[in-house]
Amino acid sequence: MKPIEDCVVGIVGLGLMGGAIAMALRNCGALAKNSNTVIGGSSITACGAASSGAGAARLLACDTDSEPLKAALAEGVIDEGFPSPENMLPRCDLVFLCLNPSTLLRFLDTWMPAFKPGALITDIAGIKGNIVDAVEKNLRSDLDFIPGHPMAGAEKGSFGGAKNVNFHGKNYILTPLKRNKSENLEFLKALICRMGFGRVTETTAEEHDHKIAFTSQLCHVIAAALIDCESDTGITRFGGGSFEDLTRIAMLNAPMWTELFLENRKELLARIEQFEKSLDKLKNYIVSGEEASLQENLRQVRERRTAMNG
């Protein structure tokens, strides 16, 4: 892989995460703004048309919605926007697929022939098993695909929320395939760190889906249930921070989380049941007034959570 400074990078799907990744690539200096790109005025509607400085364009994006492309061009976040990947993919040395899992699988089916020979591809989907399966079966032999999952997000979705996504110090999970070129893996890890992430963990797709079912999906199910069970929106007058912290993620992207919950169903259900057991234990201590057991349990919880810090 050539240095990132010499790469053309394509973002497929300029939503919350696609937008945040584009901004991070810009802000970290890896893909400086193309001085030839004319932004603002009439050119911001020229999505898909070759820009006046096409040869120098370095950060490209495609989206079926023209609004985020226009906004990203106007803000100088991308150099060129495309309504379809057709003319973008053949130019990209590195592609970030920033799509919901099911859309991503359909995208690979449809557009596999369009990728530039030798391109490095990565994704950001919150579930990895089905994606790794599909890629292992169907990826063109000259391409490299490193599945990834940046552990960051924000409540307000779409490109408009992208500037609120903070990558600084966050976790990034990679689930490399056996066929990945080690130089590409090193390249991507270095770029991830440069984008601000604090820790890159390599693991298998199975392990990712098992652990994410706990740290991410179960937490979203709990937050949703907590909001579902109280209809009084004025209850926040009685909030002291804990309720707000536990339910902030209930402002979720419903279609995407529905996909993630159902696609990782087996792992998630096992995690829900594990949680229910612990909840039941605490509940029983409270029902029966077992003060000493309850206090000891809470003491252990405090100790374990403290050990989890960092």
- The distance of closest approach from Cβ of residue 189 to a copy of itself in the complex, given in angstroms and rounded to an integer, is 15
Q: Which is nearer to a copy of itself, 2 or 307 (CB)?
A: 307
- The distance of closest approach from Cβ of residue 213 to a copy of itself in the complex, given in angstroms and rounded to an integer, is 10
Neighbours of 27 (CB within 10 A): 13
Q: Which is nearer to a copy of itself, 36 or 300 (CB)?
A: 300
Q: Which is nearer to a copy of itself, 107 or 275 (CB)?
A: 275
- The distance of closest approach from Cβ of residue 33 to a copy of itself in the complex, given in angstroms and rounded to an integer, is 29
- The distance of closest approach from Cβ of residue 157 to a copy of itself in the complex, given in angstroms and rounded to an integer, is 10
- The distance of closest approach from Cβ of residue 15 to a copy of itself in the complex, given in angstroms and rounded to an integer, is 16
- Tokens 């609120």 sit at which residue? 164
240 CB-contact burial (10 Å; exposed 0-12 / middle 13-18 / buried 19+): exposed
Q: Which is nearer to a copy of itself, 39 or 192 (CB)?
A: 192
Q: Which is nearer to a copy of itself, 91 or 211 (CB)?
A: 211
